[in-house]
Chains A and B, each alone.
Chain A
Amino acid sequence: MMILLDSSISVNAEQCPQNVLLYIETVGVEVAGLVDKVTRDGKANAAMNVVEVSRVNKSFKDIKVVDSVSLSIGQSEIFGMVGPNGAGKTTTIRMLMDIIKPDSGEIKILGEPINEAIKNRIGYLPEERGLYKKLTVSESLIYLAALKGIRGHLARERAEELLKRVNMLPHKDKKTEELSHGMGQLIQFVATILHDPELVVFDEPFAALDPVNTQLLKELILELRSQGKSVILSTHMMNQVEELCDRILMINKGQAVLYGSLAEIKSRYKNNSVFIECDRLPDKLPGVVGSKDHMKYIELFLDGHTSPQEALNALVSIGVRVDRFEVSTPSLNEIFIQVVKEGR
């Protein structure tokens, strides 16, 4: 039975006879991870969200830091939590991690209110992070893994494997105080995912990383998603979110101001304009209601009935040489500024 249930075989609980499932569950610890997989793929958890937060509030000294925030995160999803510094991102995450308790509201992680067993299935890289200066890289990793329920052999093997992945294996016996800041950050990243968590939370993971390591970290985060993990990425750097995230929560002054899929939000805030670079521009074009000179390029605002394609056709038909034509999609940053302005 155990040979059959090699991790590459996915079992659908709906098709799986009840007695087989029961048998798997009684086999014991070795297949515990597998049982998880079975139930998660199966009907019981078909609609289960990895994170479910409803109407959570938190105040410090009568100041509302998190104001009735709700969100849910599914499997294999990179979820961005964006907003300026002090918006309440870290407080929300700390409540998810059970480091601070919400004043009101409900939080469920992997289908349950957070508890000891659940903590072992979450990885967390806090914004305020560090390592034991006097311990070696291996010692630090193995202690932190032990606190996540991974011990001995397994921890050691996983640590070596991941250190190799981030090119840090030669440094494993160095004390962490001997490492550079960026290297330390890679070790912290390894510590976060060493116990193979199903939900990984990164709070400002790219801060102080050089471009090469930023790229490496991005690849690793995308890899996590492809392995079926859920990732929460909290950052004030909107461009990172645009690059990586599937869905986002934009938070400002403790309140959720935008929530949903990134593509959907972008199309919602599309401002119906195009950017062009061309040799000359006629004073009047059909469907164009205004223009704005951005020095290097010109932004044309279209009326509600004209598509960008029609505007391009109109330009080409009157013989304008077009060097660049781009449908304007507002950056997350612009959307954020717009949302905050509207909110006032």
Chain B
Amino acid sequence: MNKAFIILKHEFWQTVKNRPFIILTLALPLLAILGLGIYSGVHHWYHPGVPQQEKIGYVDYTGMFGNPPSEPDVQFILYTDEQTAKDALLAKDVKEYLVIPADYLSTGAVTRYTLSREVTPSTKTTGQITDFLVSNLLVGKVSPQVLQRVETPVLLASFRLNESGEIAPNQNIVASYVVPIVFAVLFMISVFMSSGFLFQSVTEEKENRVMEILLSSVSSGQLLVGKVLGLGIAGLLQVAVWLVTVEVFFRVASGIIPAFSGLSIPAGIIGWGILYFILGYLMFAALYAGIGSISASAREGQGWSTIFVLPAIVPYYLSYFIVSNPEGAVSRALTFFPLTSPMTSIIRLANHAISAWEIALSLIILAGSAVFIMWLAAKMFRVFILMYGKRPALREIIRYVREA
């Protein structure tokens, strides 16, 4: 059996037996079950009773508001003077009272008194007061229909059309914004987890001095290939578990949660998304392996790897921008730049907002970078893996890689 395969198997099993890996992999299914459970539990047990009718008192100096409308949720009670209104408030007969001054029509000023602490009056209260005032002002002067429209002038429904004038898919806010970002984040977590494990395994073997024993049995190339593939397969397994979870979750949730209705995994994610995952993983794995081989300790290497992780998560912070301007210059640049390409492309794929040529070009750039970094890492691995102590300077690295 090829020795790279023995290493692959060893690394794969060591990873899937690893507690953090198991916890993270199962966290999503557990969260999904928990979320659905809580939602349906609340839905099942919570029966909002008949809403309590609120009482608002008022003192009218204009004489125009003698006709309080009978709303189901609020009752306006007329008081003859402010003192009785205040007594009613203190006796908790009403929750608040208004004073409408004689010059209301010209100023629009109304004074409100309440016992509760609040930053601003709630929109509900403001709406109730507005409706009360409007209906009293217009009643008898316009038709009830016009009155209704004055109270609620618009119920907005907006649709995005595609270039051919048809209604574009994914009008759902969850589908167009949340789903792409969830996928991008999940994929990147898996990429960084797997390549992080690779880094850990390289630095660990360097730190615990098993490396030289290994290298007397296998070549540095076999070691690198075995590790990268073994951990990559563990990462793919994790992604597979998550995709199945999301699919099942969508099916179950679309039946019971209105916001999730009609959701499914965007088709592009399964095929292209996994390709981006694989290439992205290979690139970051190679980066981590290279850094691991030159670092004296895991802690030292961690700092260096952050330099590459930071740009990789830039698309996450710009995700709202990418979703709303998928064809903008910034989105395109992020799609093609190899470090940001996997995450940006997955966001755009999930949002059906990436064209075929963009996928092709970004995949070519990504694959090229992955191959180049892998080649570089293999050389660095061979040269530096047995050097302990001082981390080599950049100049030395360049020289050795040239010579190797």
Contacts and interface: CB of A to CB of B under 8 A. Distances in A.
Interface in B96-128: none
Nearest to A124: B216
A132 B215 CA distance: 15
B217 A148 contact: yes
B208 A99 contact: no
Contacts of B211: 128
Contact of B210 (A98, A122, A132): A132
A133 B214 CA distance: 15
Contacts of A120: 217
A99 B388 contact: no
Interface in B290-329: none
Contacts of B216: 97-99, 119, 122, 124, 126
A116 interface: yes
Given A116-B3, A147-B6, A124 B386 contact: no
B217 A128 contact: no
Interface residues of A, number: 26
Nearest to A129: B209
Interface in B239-262: none
Nearest to A127: B212
A275 B192 CA distance: 71
A35 interface: no
B153 to A, nearest CB: 68
Contacts of A97: 215-216
B386 A99 contact: yes
A340 interface: no
Given A99-B386, A147-B217, A147-B218, A128 B212 contact: yes
Contacts of B386: 94, 99-100, 128
A7 B211 CA distance: 35
Given A116-B3, A147-B6, A147-B7, A124 B213 contact: yes
Nearest to A176: B208
Interface residues of B, number: 20
Interface in B189-214: 204, 208-214
Contact of A131 (B6, B7, B210, B217): B210
B43 interface: no
B92 interface: no
Contacts of A316: none
A124 B386 CA distance: 15
Contact of B217 (A119, A125, A129): A119
B92 to A, nearest CB: 67
Interface in A121-146: 122, 124-126, 128-133, 143-144, 146
A191 B3 CA distance: 17
B217 A144 contact: yes
B10 interface: yes
A130 B208 contact: yes
A133 B208 contact: yes
B215 A131 contact: no
Nearest to A195: B217
A50 B214 CA distance: 22
A126 B212 contact: yes
Given A99-B215, A99-B216, A119-B217, A147 B3 contact: yes
A132 B211 CA distance: 10
B213 to A, nearest CB: 6
Nearest to B3: A147
Nearest to B211: A128
A117 to B, nearest CB: 11
A129 B215 contact: no
B209 to A, nearest CB: 3
Interface in A174-195: 188, 191
B3 A128 contact: no
Contacts of B214: 144, 147
A129 B10 contact: no
A116 B215 CA distance: 11
B188 to A, nearest CB: 27
A128 B6 contact: no
B209 A128 contact: yes
Nearest to B396: A61
Contacts of A133: 204, 208
Nearest to A120: B217
Contacts of B212: 94, 99, 124, 126, 128-129
Contacts of B213: 124-126, 129, 144, 188, 191
A100 B383 CA distance: 8
8 contacts: A97-B215, A126-B209, A129-B209, A129-B212, A130-B210, A144-B214, A148-B217, A151-B1
Interface of B: 1, 3, 6-7, 10, 204, 208-219, 386, 388
Given A119-B218, A126-B216, A129-B212, 12 more contacts: A94-B212, A126-B209, A126-B212, A128-B386, A129-B209, A129-B213, A130-B209, A131-B210, A133-B208, A143-B10, A144-B214, A191-B213
